[in-house]
């Protein structure tokens, strides 16, 4: 494991011992992970100047780290490019949201409104908060993503080997992902398999939007009604593919847009639900079920709905039991 080190934006030289999880990683990529917010040009400059040393010797960007290597990281001024430290309130929120943790992964109940990572005008997200909470953790990386306004189960890998395995499971559709969505209108009939290819588009305004398009990528969602009335329906949605905005677009395509969806939803329905207390997108990654290998135990994690969403269901007289 890496030795304890201080904040990368501080002024002191840091010495880091490479553990098994970093072994095999290129030194430039390792530094990008350690020096959050640093541009690649800065990384390559300090490598060229010999300010970064491995076992007291100069190395080049393609050098691959070995277990036990001693890496000298020089003092670096990141200035305005440094990632903002998450607020204490956010750190407490993320810490309290952890549902499951072992030596390989962390699964947390991501709050609605918090991005999974910083970027595009967002100073920080879940991954930056978790890294701030675990400064000595040698490896913390997102396994998948959730939209900023979507809450629920989010997996972070604590080992590179776990990240590789989970990406393989995702590609092979061997992770059961179930969502809860409150949609407009009365859902007729039972479960439905929605197969509608999706394509990303950019509007003239620059806004990115996803549409059903025969030329798009294959996308499959399984919709199952849990509670239904003439105003709204609560659905369990299982994903067989993981396209951007897949559930939101498929729901609208079926004539049942998700409550609180400002991009793909129904304005009048959203207003009606706001009057009942809904202040966010009603989409929640409720449950994850998977196993790392065929012989291993299943990991089965459920993220509870926040109280405000339960209150909306109560107002609509839609009974749902966690």
Catalytic one of 69, 136, 147, 149: 147
Question: What are the structure tokens assigned to 230, written together?
Answer: 């003439």
What 3-state DSSP class applies to 299?
strand
The CA distances from residue 19 to 1, 24, 29, 184, in Å, are 4, 10, 15, 51
Task: Return d(Cα 245, Cα 287) in angstroms, integer.
Answer: 18
Q: Which of 249, 143, 259 is nearest to 200 (CA)?
A: 249
The two beta strands, 283-290 and 151-157, are parallel
Cα 123 to chain centroid distance, Å, stands at 15
Diameter of the chain measured on Cα atoms: 71
Active site residue 147: yes
- The three-class DSSP label of residue 71 is strand
What 3-state class would DSSP assign to 133?
helix
**Cβ atoms of 281 and 113 closer than 8 Å:** no
Which residues are registered as beta bridge partners of 107?
Answer: 100, 155
> For the chain, where are the alpha helices, taking DSSP H only?
27-34, 40-48, 88-96, 126-133, 160-171, 246-253, 267-274, 307-316
SS3 assignment, position 94: helix
Residue 284: other Cβ atoms inside 10 A: 25
The catalytic site residues sit at 147
């Amino acid at each position: 494991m890496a030795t304890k080190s201080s904040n990368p934006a501080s002024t002191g030289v840091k010495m880091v011992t490479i553990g098994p999880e970093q072994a095999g990683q290129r030194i430039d990529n390792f530094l990008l992970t350690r020096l959050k917010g640093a541009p690649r040009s800065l990384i390559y400059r300090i490598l060229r100047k010999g300010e970064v040393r491995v076992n007291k010797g100069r190395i080049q960007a393609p050098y691959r780290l070995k277990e036990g290597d001693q890496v000298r990281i020089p003092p670096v001024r990141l200035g305005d490019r440094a990632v903002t430290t998450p607020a204490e309130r956010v750190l407490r929120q993320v810490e309290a949201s952890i549902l499951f943790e072992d030596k390989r992964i962390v699964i947390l109940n991501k709050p609605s409104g918090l991005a999974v990572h910083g970027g595009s005008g967002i100073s920080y997200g879940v991954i930056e908060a978790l890294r701030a909470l675990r400064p000595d953790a040698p490896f913390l990386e997102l396994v998948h993503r959730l939209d900023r306004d979507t809450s629920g189960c989010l997996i972070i890998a604590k080992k590179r080997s776990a990240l590789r395995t989970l990406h393989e499971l995702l590609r092979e559709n061997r992770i059961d992902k179930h969502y809860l969505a409150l949609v407009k209108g009365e859902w007729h009939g039972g479960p439905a398999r929605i197969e509608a290819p999706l394509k990303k588009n950019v509007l003239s305004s620059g806004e990115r939007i996803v549409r059903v398009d025969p030329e798009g990528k294959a996308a499959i969602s399984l919709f199952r009604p849990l509670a239904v009335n003439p105003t709204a329906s609560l659905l369990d949605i299982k994903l067989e593919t993981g396209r951007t905005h897949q559930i939101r677009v498929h729901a609208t395509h079926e004539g049942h847009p998700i409550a609180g969806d400002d991009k793909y939803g129904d304005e009048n329905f959203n207003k009606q639900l706001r009057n009942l207390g809904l202040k966010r997108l009603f989409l929640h990654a409720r449950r994850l079920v998977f196993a790392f290998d065929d012989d291993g135990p299943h990991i089965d994690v459920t993220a509870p709905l926040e109280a405000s969403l339960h209150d909306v269901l109560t107002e609509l007289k839609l009974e749902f039991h966690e």
